[in-house]
Chains A and B, each alone.
Chain A
Amino acid sequence: MATTVVKSALQAIRERGLRTFLRELKDDGFTKCFFDGNLLQTKIHNIGATVVGVDKFGNKYYEKLGDTQAGRHRWVEYAKKDRYDASQVPPEWHGWLHFITDHTGDEASLALTKFALQNVRLSMCLKHLHILVLQLLMLKPKRYGVEHKENLSGKGNEFIYHSKGHALNPGQRDWTRYQSWQPTKAE
């Protein structure tokens, strides 16, 4: 295991140069590993794992099947290496990450192949299959769905949720049930 790591590191240095390698290390969060044990463990676990997908925030989803301990075979490496939070995982990946389902968050995934395998008519063209799967995975309501936001509790009054009538809600609603007289222009 260690040899593969050293080998891939040396190869990267040879290909891209030392400076780029160090910058890549920094971007990938390896410099924070010293202070953050969780990140270090994740990085160690990443060795030998396959990247199943990347979501729109940049979180990487890994899977290591084989003789990995059950329950540790799927995990996420967050895009934000310093302030990561479990609520940064969007709903489409949440199911996969928590072993609820096998559907990953992106379209081109296991579900597609599974669906294709179950469907006897493999003669259907790929485009049809793709559309069908897209319809299956159209779990996000477009009309009223909002973008996923991480849990911003404690981050400040501008970020947390306030009810509609709260003074700190930027669009504070006036609940009075009547409308006052507004003089018309011809006064």
Chain B
Amino acid sequence: MGLGLLASRTLKTSRVLSSQYSRFRPIVTKPGLQSPDASAAAPATQPEPTPPPPKKPVGGARVHFTNPDDALEVFVDGFPVKIPKGMTVLQACEIAGVDIPRFCYHGRLSIAGNCRMCLVEVEKSPKPVASCAMPALPGMKIKTDTPLAKKAREGVMEFLLMNHPLDCPICDQGGECDLQDQSMAFGSDRGRFTEMKRSVVDKNLGPLVKTVMTRCIQCTRCVRFATEVAGVQDLGMLGRGSGEEIGTYVEKLMTSELSGNVIDICPVGALTSKPFAFKARNWELKGTETIDVTDAVGSNIRIDSRGPEVMRILPRLNEDINEEWISDKTRFCYDGLKRQRLNDPMIRDANGRFKAVSWRDALAVVAEVALQVKPEEIVGIAGKLSDAESMMALKDLLNNMGSNNVWCEGTGTSPNADLRYKYLMNSSIAGLEKADVFLLVGTQPRVEAAMVNARIRKTVRASNAKVAYIGPPTEFNYDCQHLGTGPQTLIEIAEGRHSFCSAISNAKNPAIIVGAGLFERDDKDAIFAAVEAIAKNGNVIRPDWNGFNVLLLNAAQAAALDLGLVPESSNSIESAKFLYLMGADDVNLDKVPADAFVVYQGHHGDQSVYRANVILPSAAFSEKEGTYENTEGCSQQTLPAVPTVGDARDDWKIIRALSEVAGIRLPYDTLGAIRSRMRTVAPNLLNTDEIEPAAFGPSLSQDCSQKISSTPFKAAVENFYMTDSITRASKIMAQCSAMLLKK
């Protein structure tokens, strides 16, 4: 009976059955597919076996050949492999698909060669060779699975475990520990150590990194990371022999904004995450690959969640944006997702207190007020963390109601979204590595976009690039010339009077990075005109290299400007009677008239909630699927990792529901539909993980006749740890800003 029902349902609903053979489609198979044995038996009479296919590089790595003619050939375990000149034996084995165990070697740090776990046998070599340091010579025959190599690994493992405490049950790294896995794979089954193990005093590195220095195996990865990538020489190795200790020598906290990355780097549980200590084991966590929205970089992260709760955030590899690092704010803001959450729609009653109501009532109230107000008195402001879908919906709704006063906070009073090159990082974050001169105008990359700063530091370190900075005095972790504090210096360089002009004109790939904090200034157009003059004089914008970069501050700015969230009048907020704040917490609400009806749609009760008349709870970035465009124009999508809190909904769905209640129904019901709508406006937002470069250059920009004022540039971000509603709600960020900010 059931089968017949199924069959009839199949026949009725399937459109594929409209073939010429009446109502039924015969299930056919091709002769080749019919019996795999028959097809395999036929060519089995081949004379010689085909050579095994070359193995793919470890982790699917791509190999960068600086000079394709200069490739060497080495033999790894009998397999020939072509490698670029200058690579080490370990890298050659990596290309050949053989993962050699290592503790101190890291692909992004300098080579130390002190753990000796990477020993392999090389023919015609008297002793095993440290593959991480040995350069691969042409014709070398490398053997990684011989008894000599295996014995070397067992020996190294034995020595490492000798002084290592038996902390696995209480160590946070258990389950994701390199030492555990490599001792299982390459170590021997028994140890011979019967003496007392040494122990080391724990160091206090701050509220983020928990140290149990007894577990340290002295690989010095953290020392090299702090020195090379983070640029702070806080950590060092003290002592010698078995008395070696990693520490700061003086009582110093790790104040670098990249300090959380040492947690990932440390192969053992010596440096672990303090907020995550003892909270979960890694096998109970479900990893969701999404994007970070606390700054405009869009670092790729993986949110590890257990059930309905986010437990920690780890970085994910993306060579073009954040490599393998994330800033501290990205890593530790997750506990803000659990505090001060809005979970029910609320309406402010006559006493001024908020009362939780149902969605039906809340939307009815909002729609009623919205329809009574005149179109030019309706204003919408999108927040820092808004995704492109919700901004599209907001703009559509407000436009359908007759108003065009919708903008994103942070884009200033009169944003210009006509030419994309004026608000994107045109050389792309990875492209900054090719630059050799940087001019930073009114931007402190260290606090605005820590990953961009890391990239600049990498360039400065690799190629001795020159960096000059115009703005308030700040600390840099690379050598930087402080040229001035205000627009005066900028005009000087534009007119060619400054000494730095020669550096720009002599540079092969000069890069100018302008901060988005300048959007808030009144003389923004004049400043940008001056910067463009510098760009023209220095040949910064060319077909093969575009060094004119704008470093945005928020995750939502680029998408907002791409979607055209440009207000009609710059001071519409003063005459607004209906204000729709979609997560906008950093907007100055002083100028809003006292009788304006304010709707706040967001996920945290941060600052703007207190002025709101109706609160509509929406989903945070970890709970929704949204498109975010980062400062270089690469569009990426977040995925939901945890369920929405309480009665909250997705942003664009709330606006769609509101439009239905208000009678101005928006034409999309599903995510696919709203994305098609976005495609008509800004199709680059749909090409995820791809950068759409700006199409037009400065030849189309209009001349500016504004006068530059002489107020010096001010810092756009005062407190690195508290920039948006999620980080302001986070206890860890509060601790960090109390302890780690440089006073």
Binding site for B on A (CB under 8 A): 177-183, 187
Contacts and interface: CB of A to CB of B under 8 A. Distances in A.
Contacts of B610: 183, 187
B342 interface: yes
B339 A178 contact: yes
A89 B343 CA distance: 50
Contacts of A179: 338-341
A181 B308 contact: no
Task: List the 3 shortest-distance A-B pairs measured between CB atoms, nearest first.
Answer: A181-B605, A177-B309, A178-B338
A181 B338 contact: no
Interface in B607-663: 609-610, 645-646
A183 B346 CA distance: 12
7 contacts: A178-B338, A178-B339, A178-B645, A180-B344, A180-B646, A181-B341, A182-B340
B354 interface: yes
Interface string B330-358: 00000001111111100000001110000
A177 B310 CA distance: 9
A3 B223 CA distance: 93
B343 A180 contact: yes
Nearest to A178: B338
A21 B640 CA distance: 79
Nearest to B645: A178
SS of A interface (majority)? loop
Given A183-B605, A183-B610, A178 B341 contact: yes
SS of B interface (majority)? loop
Interface residues of B, number: 20
Contacts of B343: 178, 180-181
A173 B308 CA distance: 17
A187 B352 contact: yes
B338 A177 contact: yes
A10 B610 CA distance: 86
A181 B645 contact: no
Give the residue among A177, A181, A182, A187 with the most B Cβ atoms within 10 A.
A181
Contacts of B221: none
B604 interface: yes
A182 B606 CA distance: 10
Contacts of B337: 178
A180 B645 CA distance: 9
B619 to A, nearest CB: 12
Contacts of B340: 179-182
Contact of A181 (B309, B353, B604): B604
A5 to B, nearest CB: 62
Give the residue among B337, B341, B604 with the most A Cβ atoms within 10 A.
B341
B327 to A, nearest CB: 24
Give the residue among A177, A178, A183, A187 with the most B Cβ atoms within 10 A.
A178
A108 to B, nearest CB: 42
A180 B615 CA distance: 13
Nearest to B646: A180
Contacts of A177: 307-309, 338
Given A178-B645, A180-B646, A181-B604, 17 more contacts: A177-B307, A178-B337, A178-B339, A178-B343, A179-B340, A179-B341, A180-B340, A180-B344, A181-B340, A181-B342, A181-B343, A181-B605, A182-B605, A183-B354, A183-B610, A187-B353, A187-B610
Interface in B574-619: 604-605, 609-610
B353 to A, nearest CB: 8
A183 B340 CA distance: 9
A187 B338 CA distance: 22
